[in-house]
Amino acid sequence: MKVYFLGTGTSQGIPVIGSNHSVCLSKDQKDKRLRVSVWIHSDDFSVVIDCGPDFRQQMLQSKCETIDALLITHEHADHTAGLDDIRPFYFKQGDIPVYAHERVLKNLEKRFDYIFALENRYPGAPAILANEVKENENFKVKNYLIEPINALHGSLQVFGYKIKGFVYLTDIKTIEEDQIYKIKKCKVLVINCLREEPHNTHFNLEEALDFISLVQPEKAYLTHISHLLGFHEEVQQKLPKDVYLAYDNLEISI
């Protein structure tokens, strides 16, 4: 199984529009970050987690040609605003299975009513198969078991996902003991790390590293990164063994 980091940036991406911050002006390709998303794939499996505003560009860059399922962590725009661009997949494959919390599905139905419409559909509008994800209820996509991991993004519930030894958690600030138990000693943990300064709804660097020590994965990758965290090369040098700053278009094997 392979995991392709489609995007590793926080909500505005890096560079931030109009910013003169040195990280935004960096010439290092690893300092350019689209909005967070990953593509998990093997010969018989292709799943994308989240579809933010950069989804089209990410699908072209990664050469992802089919999607068995789209898993959504939560409704924020940097994770969902690209939903309309599932159209080419819909034309090729038919209704695209989307998995999300009931609250998130309702939110998407409000914002993308034409995608959910059952009557008087606009010709060319994509359609999805909405699947509700419930806390502590595992589900299968093809033959792959997927375990939702429940966490909080400030006061907002978010889902992370565990697939085989791979765990993807983004936009979390707090997580209960019973959920940590499910991911202990996993092979690869991806976890959000915004910047060094504390933030109300995101882990900062210290919190992300503490969380990694608690989970004890074989390897950990940091994502959902703000330009305020610093230059990729400099931050990477400060990280402990087996902890890596993810970057766009990085692909790892699991």
Binding status of residue 171 toward Zn ion by CB under 5 A: yes
Measured between alpha carbons, how far is 89 from 251 in angstroms, rounded to an integer? 22
Neighbours of 192 (CB within 10 A): 30
Interface region with Zn ion, contact rule CB under 5 A, candidates 76-84, 97-105, 207-215, 243-251: 76-84
User: Among residues 46 and 192, whose Cβ is nearest to Zn ion?
Assistant: 192
Give the nearest distance from C-beta 202 to Zn ion in angstroms: 8
Q: Does 31 bind Zn ion (CB under 5 A)?
A: no
Among residues 50, 54, 78, 85, the one that binds Zn ion under rule CB under 5 A = 78
Closer residue to Zn ion (CB): 85 or 171: 171
Q: Which residues of 205-237 are buried (b: 16+ CB within 10 A; e: fewer)?
A: bebbbebbeebebebbbbbbbbbbbbbbeebee
User: Of 75 and 171, which has the nearer Cβ to Zn ion?
Assistant: 171
Phi and psi torsions of 195, nearest 5°: -170, -175
Burial class (CB in 10 A: 0-12, 13-18, 19+), 79: buried
What is the nearest approach in angstroms of Zn ion to the Cβ of residue 51?
Answer: 12
- Report the alpha-carbon distance of residue 207 to residue 209 in Å, rounded: 5
- Region from 74-82, 110-118, 125-133, 193-201 binding Zn ion, contact rule CB under 5 A: 74-82
Residue 105: Cβ-neighbour burial (10 angstroms; 0-12, 13-18, 19+): buried
* Pairing state between β 2-7 and 37-42: antiparallel
**Closest to Zn ion by CB, 7 or 217:** 7
> Cα separation of 34 and 196, whole Å?
20
Segment contacting Zn ion (CB under 5 A): 41-49, 70-78, 133-141, 230-238? 70-78
# binding residues, Zn ion (CB under 5 A): 2
Which of positions 188-247 make contact with Zn ion (CB under 5 A)? none
The stretch among 75-83, 90-98, 158-166, 230-238 that binds Zn ion (CB under 5 A) is 75-83
Binding flag, residue 75, Zn ion (CB under 5 A): no
Shortest separation between residue 78's beta carbon and Zn ion, angstroms: 4
Q: 87 to 146, contacts with Zn ion by CB under 5 A? A: none
Q: Per the structure block, which two tokens stand in for 193? A: 């790390």
Structure tokens belonging to residue 52: 């933010």
- The two three-digit tokens of residue 116, written as one number: 């959910």
Residues near Zn ion (CB under 5 A): 78, 171
